[in-house]
Structure 1
Amino acid sequence: MKIKVGFGFDVHQLKENHPFIVGGVNLEHDRGAFGHSDADVLLHAICDALLGAANLRDIGYHFKNTDPQWKGISSLILLKESVRLVQEKGFEIGNIDAMLCIEAPKINPHIPTMQQNIAEAAGISVEDISIKATTNEQMGFIGREEGVVAYAVCLIQRS
C-alpha cells in the first residue's frame, strides 16, 4: 500500500466589515479574511495538503487568483475539486489534521460544523478530520488581528 503525507499552509489578511468564512462557516466578527475566493484559510491549507501529498502542486496552480471563474467562489467547491484531482491519481484520504492560528473570534464552538462541512466536501468521515485552534498570544500580525493562518497535514493512500 502506498501512503503519502501532505502539508498545507495559508494566510489571509483580515479587513473590517468583510465576511469571515472558516471551514465553510460564516463567523460573526468585525473583520474577515480577504482574498479572491471566499478566503477560507482553513480549506485552502487543507487543499494544499491534499494536492501536495498527491504531487499535484498547489492550490494557486489549479485555482488561479487571476481567473474570474474562482472570484468569490466557496472554498468548499475548491476542496471538492482538490479531492477529485487526488482521487483521479488513485488515492483516497486517510485523515486530515488542521490548526488555525487566530486571535478572535473563538473557534471551538464552530469546530463540529466545520468538521461536518469538510467531511461532506471530501467524502470522508468526521472522525477522520481534526481541527484545532490557538492564539498568537497577542503577538505579531495575528495578535493584532491583522491576519489569520492555517496549517494542515493529511495522509492519503492508494485506493
Structure 2
Amino acid sequence: MRIGSGFDVHAFGDGDHVTLGGVRVPHSHGVVAHSDGDVVIHALCDAIFGALALGDIGMHFPPTDERWRDADSRQFLRHAAMLMAQHGYALGNADITVIGEKPKIAPHAQAMRGHLAADLDCDIGRISIKATTTEKLGFTGRGEGIAAQACVLLERG
C-alpha cells in the first residue's frame, strides 16, 4: 500500500463559476488559474503522484506550457489514473476536503464523486468529498480564494 497527500489553492477572480471535481458550480467569482483551476482534482492528482513518488502536478502539466491553458483538469486525473495502473496500483480510497466559505459543496458532492470515480475507474464508494469553512479566518474566510486537500490510499492491483 502507498499513501499520498495533496493540496491546492486558487485565488478568486472574474467569472461566474468554479469547477470542482469536474463539476461547473455557479459562483459569484471564477478562479485565477492556468488550467480550469479545479482545486479538487489538482489536490487529488498531487496525492496520487505523491503516493507513486512521481512528483507533483506541475511536473506533469507545467503551468508554463500553453497546451494546458484553460485545460479540463479531468484529463490530468485520467493521466494520474493511467500512471497508477502502469505502476501496478489501484485506488483504495480518496478523501478530499474543500476549504472555503463559498460556494456550498454539498449540493454538488455526489456529481463530483461520480466524475472522479469514472476518471479513476473505481466504485463511487471509494471517493469521499466534504467541505469545511475556516470560520471566516484567513484568505478562504475572507472569500479571496478556495482550497482543497486530498489523501489517497493506493493498493497493489
Structure 1 and Structure 2 fold alike (TM over 0.5): yes
Other structure's SS at 2:8 match: strand
Partners of 1:60 and 1:115 in 2: how far apart? 24
Quote the RMSD (CA, aligned, Å): 0.9
Partner SS, residue 36 of structure 1: coil
Deviation at 1:17, TM superposition (A): 2.2
Distance 1:86 1:143 in 2: 35
Task: Kindly indicate whether residue 59 of structure 2 is the aligned counterpart of residue 73 of structure 1.
Answer: no
2:43–2:148 contact (8 Å) kept in structure 1? yes
The match for 1:150 among 136, 148, 151 is 148
- How far apart are residue 91 of structure 1 and its match? 1.0
- Which sections of structure 1, spanning at least 5 residues, go unmatched? none
> How many matched pairs?
157
C-alpha contact (below 8 Å) 1:18/1:34 kept by paired residues:
no
Indicate conservation of the 8 Å contact 1:93/1:157, yes or no: yes
Instruction: Say whether the 8 Å CA contact 1:37–1:72 is kept in structure 2.
Output: yes
Q: Could you say what secondary structure the match of 2:91 adopts? A: strand
Residue in structure 1 matched with residue 27 of structure 2 by the alignment: 29
Q: Is the 8 A contact 2:15 2:31 kept in 1?
A: no
Pick from 50, 61, 73 the counterpart of residue 48 of structure 2: 50
The aligned residue for residue 133 of structure 1 is 131
Match of 1:102 in 2: 100
Name the amino acid aligned to 1:7: S
Question: SS in structure 1 opposite 2:154?
Answer: strand
Q: Distance in 2 between matches of 1:51 and 1:108?
A: 27
User: How high is the TM-score relative to the length of structure 2?
Assistant: 0.97
Q: Which residue of 1 aligns with 2:81?
A: 83
Counterpart of 1:15 in structure 2: which amino acid? G
User: Which segments of 5 or more consecutive residues in structure 2 lack a partner in the other structure?
Assistant: none
2:13 equivalent in structure 1: 15
What's the CA shift for 1:18? 5.1
Tell me, in whole angstroms, the C-alpha distance in 2 between the residues paired with 1:24 and 1:101. Answer: 17
**Equivalent pair of 2:90/2:156 in contact (CA under 8 Å):** yes
2:90 corresponding residue in structure 1:
92
Residues 48-106 of structure 1 deviation map (CA, whole Å, 9 limit, x = unaligned): 00010011111000000011111111111100001111211111111100000011111
The offset of 1:35, in angstroms, is: 0.7
Q: Do the aligned partners of 2:113 and 2:128 also contact (CA within 8 Å) in 1?
A: yes
- Following the alignment from structure 1 to structure 2, what is the Cα–Cα distance between the partners of residues 82 and 95? 14
SS of the aligned residue for 1:69 comes to: helix
Q: TM-score, normalised by structure 1?
A: 0.96
